[in-house]
């Protein structure tokens, strides 16, 4: 950091947000942790990035951050895309904290669209960027009505959505943002992670979901029961592409399909770049 | 007779500011009975029905419903979850416009299955069989099951709405002009169907309509409303053949004889 940039950063509070705002966000987070899966409204702030780039996640990360933390930012599983790089830089500059690309070294992981392949532990916080927090938005557009449905536990409509999937396509085709029921109470949208990641929602880490534009925070505390909705005769199936990774050879990780030429060539590679790179490192060391 | 009435309405009043929706309506509905409510537009029939079904809060009065487990209870003092539970199990509401009662973007099968899923049905095959059975009962081809209601004719939409409501085996059905907006031959088929279902399932129903032919066919008893007041009650044939109140006489004589 240049001296000039360092001087400019002194004008900001630690991690950009002022202390009162962080306090307000922490209150919402605590409430969210106390009522797992419940969407807590909060006074979302304007952030120096557009809506849809993770304004909710950044606010949550800033509110839980301490100077000793190490942050990792994931965008669609990757550490090196625009969104991940710019958010990592943002916290480097405004909080002067350590950053990493290694899942195991991070204490805060802000993510968009993926849960890391490596299992998380009790010392980690996973922060999700959420575009649409309301799982019933597209079946019941009225927010007044969906809040009442949450309050009264009227979740029949969620199954109508899955029923329509099966009636039309013969299987549940919802592949991402697959609805879950948290601790037998609230139905929750796990943000647009692939349904492959749903089983990992039952985790040792704290998981916090921030929706900036929609002004909602919700959370899943460690060791909380999270069940993906399904039918008795059409059980939940966390499927993935049936290939090994073309780079590291993993057959268990979630894969991206990459088009490599205009003649129909394609390859399947791990979407979690850190997981893939560490496997390759280990293979090279062994060789 | 010591049968508990299914619905016991006492002094029900609803005002819209200084205007009166319906005033001091009292009646009892016994199990298996179908009651018609007739009157001209603006006479308070729909207000009355919406108050009974819990869609509108009345200003005064009591509505006692004979619940399955706890006997007669006042639906107005019930908690909201209980009332909404009744609304999707023991009660059914058939709207005049099927668009109000159907989910237009969900397939016919999904529409019928919604109530089952709302009370905890989680087996796709069973839900589908129940939906198929009900589509057959209301004379909709089962190969139309995965079509959206928007692709149905008005009469089919209305029959679908009836199937969607009756699938949970309700004991009390509220109908608001169930044949309104349909042409006469479709009306006749729908009435035929309704009469069959009501008799076979032993349903109790309250039918609001301005069409005297509908109540003549379906209703055991009749209540005539004018300007928010009940002006005459009695057995259907008795009221229609020998109307006592001046307004009822006018209503009966206004019907065109073909």
Measure CA B28 to chain center: 16
Check if A270 is active-site.
Answer: yes
Tell whether A159 is within 8 A of chain B (Cβ): yes
Instruction: Tell me which chain A residue has its CA closest to the CA of residue B81.
Output: A152
Check if A276 is active-site.
Answer: yes
User: Residues A193-217: what's their mean pLDDT?
Assistant: 97
ipTM greater than 0.90: no
Q: Where are the alpha helices (DSSP H) in B70-153?
A: 80-88, 98-101, 108-118, 124-137
List the single best residue of A136, A144, A160, A172 to mutate versus B (max B Cβ within 10 A): A160
Beta bridge mates, A180:
A188, A228
Q: What is the pLDDT of residue A2?
A: 54
Q: How confident is the model at residue A31 (pLDDT cuts 50, 70, 90)?
A: very high
Beta bridge mates, A164:
none
Instruction: Tell me which chain A residue has its CA closest to the CA of residue B80.
Output: A152
B240 is written with which tokens? 């229609």
Choice among A57, A77, A210, A276 that is catalytic: A276
Residue A162 near residue A231, CB atoms below 8 Å:
yes
Check if A57 is active-site.
Answer: no
SS3 label, residue A231 = strand
- In the 8-state DSSP scheme, what is residue B149? G
Residues 6 or more apart from A99 whose CB is under 8 A from it? A70, A71, A72, A73, A88, A91, A92
Choice among A52, A212, A248, A249 that is catalytic: A248
Are the beta carbons of A163 and B110 separated by less than 8 Å? yes
Measured CB to CB, residues of chain B less than 8 Å from chain A are 80-81, 84, 88, 103, 106-107, 109-110, 113-115, 117-119, 122-125, 127-128, 145-146
A1 is written with which tokens? 């950091």
Instruction: Check pLDDT > 80 for residue A4.
Output: no
Query: What's the rounded Cα separation, in Å, for the pair B64 and B153?
Result: 38
- In the 8-state DSSP scheme, what is residue A11? T
Q: In this structure, what are the phi and psi dihedrals at residue A164, rounded to the nearest 5 degrees? A: -60, -40
Of B84, B123, B146, the CB nearest to A167: B146
Angle of the B154-166 helix axis to the B108-118 helix axis, nearest 10: 20
Give me the tens of pLDDT residue by residue for chain B, a chain 258 residues long: 568 899 999 999 999 998 999 999 999 999 989 999 998 888 899 899 999 998 899 999 999 999 988 889 999 999 888 888 898 889 999 998 999 999 998 999 999 999 999 988 999 999 999 999 999 989 899 999 999 999 999 889 999 999 999 998 899 999 998 888 788 888 888 888 888 888 888 889 999 988 888 898 889 999 999 999 999 999 999 999 999 999 999 888 887 766
Half-sphere exposure of A127 (CA within 13 A, CB side): 27
**What is the model's pTM?**
0.84
Tell whether A231 is within 8 A of chain B (Cβ): yes
pLDDT for B172-208, tens place per residue? 999 998 888 788 888 888 888 888 888 888 889 999 9
Q: In this structure, what are the phi and psi dihedrals at residue A77, rounded to the nearest 5 degrees? A: 90, -15
Q: What is the pLDDT of residue B196?
A: 87
Cα–Cα distance list, B89 to A101, A255, B172, B222 (Å): 54, 45, 10, 26
pLDDT for B29-41, tens place per residue? 999 899 999 988 8
Choice among A32, A37, A210, A212 that is catalytic: A37
A216 is written with which tokens? 């909602």
Helix then strand count (H, E) for chain B reads: 10, 10
Query: What's the rounded Cα separation, in Å, for the pair B119 and B105?
Result: 21
- Chain A environment of B125 (Cβ under 8 Å): 233
Residue A226, min C-alpha distance to chain B (Å): 18
Query: What's the rounded Cα separation, in Å, for the pair A63 and A40?
Result: 15
Q: How many CB pairs under 8 A join A and B?
A: 52
Closest C-alpha to B53, from B71, B69, B37, B70 = B37
What secondary structure does DSSP assign to B6-65, as a single string?
SEEEEEEEEEETTEEEEEEEEEEE-TT-EEEEE--TTSSHHHHHHHHTTSS--SEEEEEE
């Amino acid at each position: 950091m240049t001296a000039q940039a360092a001087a400019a950063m002194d004008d900001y509070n630690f991690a950009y947000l002022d202390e009162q705002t962080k306090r307000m966000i922490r209150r919402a987070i605590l409430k969210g942790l106390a009522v797992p899966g419940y969407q807590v409204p909060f006074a979302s702030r304007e952030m120096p990035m557009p809506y849809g780039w993770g304004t909710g996640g950044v606010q949550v990360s800033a509110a839980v951050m301490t100077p000793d933390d190490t942050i990792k930012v994931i965008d669609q599983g990757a550490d090196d895309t625009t969104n991940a790089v710019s958010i990592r830089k943002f916290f480097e500059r405004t909080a002067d904290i350590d950053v990493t690309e290694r899942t195991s070294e991070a204490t805060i992981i802000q993510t968009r669209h993926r849960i890391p392949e490596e299992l998380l532990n009790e010392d980690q916080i996973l922060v999700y960027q959420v575009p649409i927090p309301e799982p019933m938005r597209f079946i019941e557009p009225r927010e007044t009505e969906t809040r009442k449905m949450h309050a009264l536990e009227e979740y029949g409509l969620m199954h109508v959505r899955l029923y329509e999937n099966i009636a039309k396509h013969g299987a549940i085709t919802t592949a991402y943002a697959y609805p879950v029921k948290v601790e037998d109470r609230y139905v929750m949208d796990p943000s647009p992670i692939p349904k492959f990641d749903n089983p990992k929602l039952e985790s040792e880490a704290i998981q916090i979901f921030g929706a900036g534009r929609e002004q909602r925070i919700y959370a899943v505390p460690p060791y909380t029961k999270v069940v993906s909705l399904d039918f008795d005769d059409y059980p939940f199936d966390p499927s993935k592409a049936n290939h090994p990774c073309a780079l590291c050879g993993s057959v268990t990780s979630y894969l991206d399909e990459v088009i490599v030429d205009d003649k129909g060539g394609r390859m399947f590679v791990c979407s979690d770049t850190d997981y893939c790179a560490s496997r390759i490192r280990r293979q090279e060391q062994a060789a | 007779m010591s049968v508990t009435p299914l619905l016991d309405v006492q002094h029900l009043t609803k005002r819209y500011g200084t205007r009166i929706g319906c005033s001091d309506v009292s009646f009892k509905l016994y199990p298996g009975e179908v009651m018609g409510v007739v009157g001209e537009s603006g006479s308070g029939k729909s207000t009355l029905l919406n108050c009974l079904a819990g869609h509108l809060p009345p200003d005064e009065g009591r509505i006692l419903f004979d619940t399955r487990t706890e006997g007669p209870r006042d639906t107005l003092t019930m908690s909201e979850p209980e009332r909404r539970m009744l609304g999707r199990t023991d009660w059914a509401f058939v709207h005049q416009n099927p668009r109000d009662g159907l989910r237009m973007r969900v397939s016919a099968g999904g529409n019928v299955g919604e109530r089952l899923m709302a009370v905890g049905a989680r087996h796709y095959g069973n839900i589908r069989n129940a939906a198929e059975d009900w589509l057959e009962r209301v004379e909709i081809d089962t190969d139309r099951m995965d079509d959206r209601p928007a692709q149905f004719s008005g009469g089919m939409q209305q029959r679908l709405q009836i199937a969607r409501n009756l699938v949970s085996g309700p004991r009390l059905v509220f109908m608001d002009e169930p044949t309104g907006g349909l042409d006469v031959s479709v009306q006749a088929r729908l009435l035929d169907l309704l009469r069959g279902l009501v008799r076979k399932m032993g349903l109790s129903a309250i039918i609001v309509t301005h069409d005297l032919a509908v109540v003549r066919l379906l209703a055991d008893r009749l209540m005539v409303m004018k300007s928010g007041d009940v002006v005459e009650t009695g057995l259907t044939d008795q009221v229609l053949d020998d109307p006592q109140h001046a307004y009822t006489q006018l209503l009966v004589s206004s019907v065109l004889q073909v």
